[in-house]
Amino acid sequence: MIVVLSQGCAANFGDGEKIARILSQKSEVTFEFPEAKPAHSTRAASFSSKTPANLENAENSTSAANPVDFRTEKPEAFYLNVCTVKGNAGAMKLLRKAASTFPGVPIYITGCAPKDFREEALRAVPSVQFTSLKELEDSAHSANSRNVLRESPFVGIVNIEEGCLDACAFCSTHLVKGRLHSFAPQTIVDQVQALVDDGCLEIQLTGQDCACYGFDIGTNLAELTQRILTHVNGNYRIRLGMGNPRHVLGYQEALLDCFTDNRIYKFIHIPVQSGSENVLKAMNRRHTARDYATLAHAFTERFRKFTLSTDLIVGYPGETAADFNDTLKLLKETRPTVCNITRFVARPGTVAARLETASNQAVPDDIKHERSAILAEAFQQIALENNREWIGDECIVVTEKPGYRAGTTIARNEAYRPVALQGTFPAGQTLRVRITGAEPFALLAEPLA
- At 122 the pLDDT is 94
Q: Mean per-residue pLDDT for 304-308?
A: 95
Pick the range with the lowest mean pLDDT from 113-127, 321-335, 354-368.
354-368
Are residues 420 and 362 in contact, defined by beta-carbon separation less than 8 angstroms? no
pLDDT tens string 24-46 = 988 899 998 986 444 443 333 33
- At 52 the pLDDT is 33
Beta strand ranges found along 259-391 (DSSP E): 267-269, 307-314, 338-343
Percentage of residues of the chain with pLDDT beyond 90: 72
Q: Cα separation of 347 and 351, whole Å?
A: 9
- At 354 the pLDDT is 83
Q: Cα separation of 431 and 265, whole Å?
A: 16
| 148 pLDDT above the threshold of 90 | no
| 58 pLDDT above the threshold of 70 | no
- Nearest CA to 15 among 121, 130, 112? 112
pLDDT-derived band at 145, boundaries 50, 70, 90: low
pLDDT tens string 402-424 = 998 889 999 999 999 999 999 99
Q: Is 296 exposed, middle or buried (0-12, 13-18, 19+ CB in 10 A)?
A: buried
- At 141 the pLDDT is 61
- At 64 the pLDDT is 32
- At 146 the pLDDT is 61
Q: Cα separation of 286 and 244, whole Å?
A: 9
Pick the range with the lowest mean pLDDT from 90-94, 112-116, 203-207, 412-416.
112-116
pLDDT tens string 64-90 = 333 344 444 789 999 999 998 888 899
Pick the range with the lowest mean pLDDT from 87-91, 281-285, 444-448.
87-91
Q: Cα separation of 319 and 335, whole Å?
A: 22
- At 70 the pLDDT is 41
- Nearest CA to 48 among 338, 419, 402, 413? 402
